[in-house]
Amino acid sequence: MVEIMIGFLALISFLAPIVLLIVYIIKTNTLEHKVRHLEQTLFDLQSTIGKPQATTAVVSEKKEPPVKERPEPTLVSHPSAMPPLPPPMKLKSPSRTQEEWESLVGGKLLNRIGAFALILGVGFFLKYAFDHNWITEATRVLIGVAIGSLCLVGGARTQKKDYQIFAQGLVGAGVSILYLSVYASFNFYHLVPQWVAFLLMSGVTIITLAQALYYNSIAVSVLGWAGGFLTPLMLSTGQSNEAALFTYIALLSLGLLAIVVKKESWIVVEPLTLVAMYIMYFLWFDKYYTFQAFTLTVFFLCTFWILFYGLDLVQLRLNVTSYSKFRHIVQSFNSFFFYIALYSLVNRPYHSVMGTVTMLLGAVYIITFFTAKKFYEIDADTEARYNLTGIVLIIIATAIEYESFANIRFWALEAFLLLWLGFWYKRRYIWTSSLVLYGLAALVLLFTKGALQYIPIEFFTLLLNNRAFTFLLVAATFGMGSLLMQKVKDSKAFLVQEWLGFGFFMILFLLLTVETSDYFENILRFGIGIVTRGQNEITTLQNQRQIFISAVWLLYSIIVMIVGIARNLRGPRFIAIGLFGLSILKIFIVDLSFLETLYRIFSFIGLGVILLAVSYMYQRYKSLIFGQNIANRERESQ
């Protein structure tokens, strides 16, 4: 019996913060609605009172001359020209009065404490009787059932007398005692088999949820939620019975979600049910799952997902708008938990179809949105959630189906497609998601094996290889995206255009660098005469590699600068200046330190000629770059 009391106290300790949070949410939401109602009422009163006062003032102005000693504000003769009324004052929620505090403590708090004390008192009495062998084991359980039933009957009678708070306390105590009695009959006294105890526990849960609806008590519904999901854990025999367990979980979740549909304000039941449902699944999966149960497990897992997916569709049909952001979060977590569970279940034995399954799941979300849009009015947040969920799943499917450079190429193409769709349908969230995919593709490209050094180097062919094709394709998608963003009318479009242009030029810059470096690396390792090549020839090739890299950097910087001047784009010009700075650092630090004298001469002469040419272009086309006015002022200052 001591273990029973300890377990019950632990249950109460777990539920108390949840119940308090629920009460706080309900009270806050109620007060918020009251304040809004009062503000609207005050505004209506001010509008109603203001009009007759204005009319009276106008009439008095016509009959009596204005008094000089007490000047009044000038009133216009037309009511529509009246000065606007001040906005209604925001009313602060009044603090509780002494009577309200007394009612809260005496009527509600003492009721809850009394119910809890009654449960403890019954438990301690039974323990004392058990210790002295006054009552047999069967009688002990029957006493608990009788006391719990009497509490429910007492709650019903006091409810009819309009003692709602008192009735809810009795119901909570009665339900807890019934749970405790059934649990003890199976786990401690072994009076009934598991299936009988399971049915009894299920019956108590049904009674609890029915009582919650009858008394309109969210606290009782949470008690039913806790008892319902704790029943399989309390009655576990250590053996797997997947069909019975998941059927029970599915029916329990269905009942709780039906209550959520009926009681929109009981929003907290929805996430509690979602979390408890998937916790039960993952606990079972970790301990009992075997491949022989694959088909049945997939069926129940899809059933769990459909419960909340169907709830979302029902709420769309009923046009439920309350707690919309909270419901979006719950549905997003349903998609997340379901996919994690599905991936863990399917990927290992059937990896070859996992990408297809993921893509089909993403298509379900997108198709559902377009289908539901024909019948229901869907708000922007719901549209974004459905489409973004589908987009994310398709992106994941690409990563599962393809690897290395192939995956990056498809991601780049998908990023541009999303950018175009966002532009075409004028959906900012779509082209914003494309920017995330652009960045992901570029980041993964940098860390992909073989991106910075070709593998295997003996099969390297300058610019005619898989890596170069990937770099060029990714750069092309960045460039086309930058051009497309020029047509987007949005405050952030110019910034996005600049960053996509920056990505285009930098990816090409990195490609030219690694291709030049690997060209000489291939010659050093597998060139003609490598066996007989001496140290001097190796040093010469290494010097040539560094001088060619510097030359490529400088020539590429000139090309970028020409593009920036010709198209009057500040971004490319800034990129070119940055690349010139990088080239200068390399020549002064690397080339000056490690190259032989002849190569140093070539390096510095080339640098000087190119920088002078860039300076000349700035002077030659400064009116195009900076505008005619600035160019004239600069000429006058000289």
Structure confidence at residue 527 (pLDDT): 66
Q: Which pair of tokens denotes residue 272?
A: 């509690």
Asked if 221 and 177 touch (Cβ cutoff 8 Å), the reply is no
Asked if 219 and 172 touch (Cβ cutoff 8 Å), the reply is yes
Structure confidence at residue 487 (pLDDT): 86
Please name which of 257, 242, 345 lies closest in space to residue 296, comparing C-alpha atoms.
242
Asked if 457 and 525 touch (Cβ cutoff 8 Å), the reply is yes
Longest distance between any two alpha carbons in the chain, whole Å: 121
What's the pLDDT tens digit per position in 526-551?
A: 765 454 556 777 888 888 888 889 88
Q: Which pair of tokens denotes residue 177?
A: 């005692």
What's the pLDDT tens digit per position in 16-36?
A: 555 555 555 555 556 666 666
- Euclidean distance between CA atoms 199 and 248, whole angstroms: 10
Q: How many CA atoms lie within 13 A of 62 on its CB side?
A: 7
With tokens 């309109």, the residue in question is 216
Structure confidence at residue 40 (pLDDT): 73
- Euclidean distance between CA atoms 324 and 261, whole angstroms: 13
Query: Residues of the chain whose pLDDT is less than 70?
Result: 1-37, 46-109, 111-112, 115-116, 118-119, 122-123, 125-127, 129-131, 134-135, 188-189, 527-534, 591-600, 602-603, 616, 618-638
Asked if 394 and 359 touch (Cβ cutoff 8 Å), the reply is yes
Question: Quick one: CA torsion of 25, 277, 202, 286, rounded to 10 degrees?
Answer: -140
Asked if 229 and 251 touch (Cβ cutoff 8 Å), the reply is no
* Helix (H) / strand (E) containing 630: helix 628-637
Instruction: Please report, for residues 466, 471, 506, 508, 511, the alpha-carbon distance to residue 406 in angstroms, rounded to integers and kept in the order given.
Output: 9, 11, 20, 18, 17
Q: Which pair of tokens denotes residue 175?
A: 């339900």
Structure confidence at residue 327 (pLDDT): 94
- Euclidean distance between CA atoms 62 and 106, whole angstroms: 62
What one-letter code names the amino acid at 322? S
With tokens 């806790």, the residue in question is 226
What's the pLDDT tens digit per position in 65-108?
A: 454 444 444 444 444 444 555 554 444 445 566 656 666 666 56
Q: How many secondary structure helices (H) and strands (E) does the chain include?
A: 23, 0
What one-letter code names the amino acid at 107? G
Helix (H, G, I), strand (E, B), or coil: what is residue 166? helix
- Euclidean distance between CA atoms 125 and 121, whole angstroms: 6
Length of the chain: 638
